[in-house]
Amino acid sequence: MSRRRGLGSGLDALMSSGPTPGVSSAIRQIPLDAIRSNRSQPRSHFDEQALDELAASIREHGLIQPVIVTEDDEGGYELIAGERRWRAARRAGLREVPALVKSTTPQQLLELAIVENVQRADLNALEEGQAYQTLKDEFGLTDEMIAQRVGKSRVTVVNTRRLIKLAPAARQALLDGAISAGHGRALLRLEEPTEQSAVLELIVRRDLSVREAERMAELALHQQVHPATREALLHGTISAAHAQALLRLEDPALQNAALEQVLALGLSTRASDQFAALLSEGVALASAVEQVRVAPPSASLAPHTPTPTTDDEPRPNRRTPVDPNDEEARRLFENLLETPVQLVRTGREIRLTITVYDDEQLQHIYERLNGTE
């Protein structure tokens, strides 16, 4: 497989055995205590078990690939690449390691650290976003310049960098792997940290997909949504399908009154849709309530049930049966394209629906599918 455009070219230059004009280089044995971590290291998390396994391998076979360092102003060395190997070598009990010594500028030091980690997929999305932001803030690089250096599209750089604006709880969830970068981008559509935290809780508790999280955010931002409907949706009191039904009602007072009845009667999504349809046709509220009360049992819940249920949305204990292979394929497409994806099988036909929200994202998906990213 060919390497992605530009990615790791800086490391290739560093690891090249040939001389680089204006740059001194040599491989030598350097005491571990003389080497310090890269101050610009974008990676903040190192898997302890993986480090132990690498240390065991180094103890058995030695450190085969040298780390890359640059001389610092204090007579020691600062890592450019290979911090994981350096940490594991310390655990293995080594006193010195083979190191390739290179001269670099502070900007090159950060760029190369980012490229190494991105190339090895060692950075999580938040760490990667913070690294891109540092290149912008400290060295004045544009998103296009960053994209060229790390071998990704400008849209990917922008979307990844925006993740650092997430609320603290959402950032931590992303670091812990509780949510994906796609979930993070869905949360970013909600500006209030309290709203992000509320939806984050729903994503984790109900195992919502990126598509479901995007749908919640889209409905919450709809120009016709009543504040009470928005709050009920974001706190999980009603589902996205309930909110969609209530959005039939353009009059704010009527939408709020309908919401109160949906909650009081514990209406299912199907019954809520029927209820909203009646109201939008001009049926009086009391009459519409009576009609959904006498609807078939499958369309509504018993009046004493306090929380509305969902007919067409997955919930933790009421998931529609889905072929595991189809669900896995859908998730793979979603992770690849970084946007909501639906996969529906009808007989021999398989329909794949990809949701995009602007022209930049459409261009990003085209580049990814075309292999030009």
- Which of the residues are catalytic? 83
Q: 190, 196 in Cβ contact below 8 A?
A: yes
What tokens appear for 351 in the block?
């329909």
For the chain, what percentages of helix, strand and coil (3-state, to nearest 5) are there? 55, 10, 35
Q: Residue-wise over 254-275: b if at least 16 C-beta within 10 A, else e? A: bbebbbebbbebbbbbbbbbbb
Token representation of residue 350: 């398989």
DSSP secondary structure of 75-114: SSEEEEE-HHHHHHHHHTT-SEEEEEEE---HHHHHHHHH
Please tell me the distance from the alpha carbon of residue 99 to that of residue 101, in angstroms, as a whole number: 6
Residue 324 bridge partners (DSSP): none
- Say how far apart CA 180 and CA 186 lie, in whole Å: 10
Name every residue whose Cβ is closer than 8 Å to that of residue 48 and which is 6 or more positions away in sequence. none
| 8, 14 Cβ separation under 8 angstroms | no
What's the CA gap between 204 and 202, in Å, rounded?
Answer: 5
Closest CA to 263 of 244, 285, 284, 239: 239
